[in-house]
Amino acid sequence: MPLVSLENTITLAMSVRDRHASAEWYRAKLGFELIRHVDEAGWSEMQTKTEGVALGLGEQSEPSPGNTVPVFGVADIETARRSLEAAGVRFDGETETIEGMVSTATFYDPDGNALMLAEDLSGR
């Protein structure tokens, strides 16, 4: 039995120089639809053509190519994090929360690949 109960969503997060321009590129080239721009967080989300899979665009002045991080949706991030930490999974810092939007926590697989948990707070 898995340690964490994941929801049926995943966001593939990547860093881009200009998320508004990138969102337009993904719309025009791949037909993705804009979910939202969150300017105060430097974040945009696009709905891909696959149900439950979104593309997250985080703005950075110098993004590194190949920096995609899978972000797994969970109903309760604190419970999920405690379960994984109890099993020896390494996390990077504290859980971060943007009130009314999301709580996230970065963790690593055995090879050092970054992954994230995210609890959607927008419906609260």
pLDDT tens by residue, 71-111: 999 999 999 999 999 999 999 999 999 999 999 999 999 87
DSSP lists the bridge partners of residue 58 as 15, 43
Sequence-ordered alpha helix ranges (H) in the chain: 19-30, 77-86
| Angle CA 61–122–69, to nearest 5 | 40
Q: What is the pLDDT of residue 118?
A: 95
Contact 90, 107 (CB under 8 A): yes
Tokens coding 27: 């719309």
Residues 6+ apart with CB under 8 A from 94: 105
Q: What is the pLDDT of residue 123?
A: 79
CATH class held by domain 6-120: alpha beta
CA 44 to chain centre: 11
Contact 110, 88 (CB under 8 A): no
Q: What is the pLDDT of residue 113?
A: 85
Q: What is the pLDDT of residues 40-63, one digit of tens each?
A: 999 999 999 999 999 999 999 988
Q: The whole model's pTM is what?
A: 0.79
pLDDT: is 18 or 66 the higher one?
Answer: 18
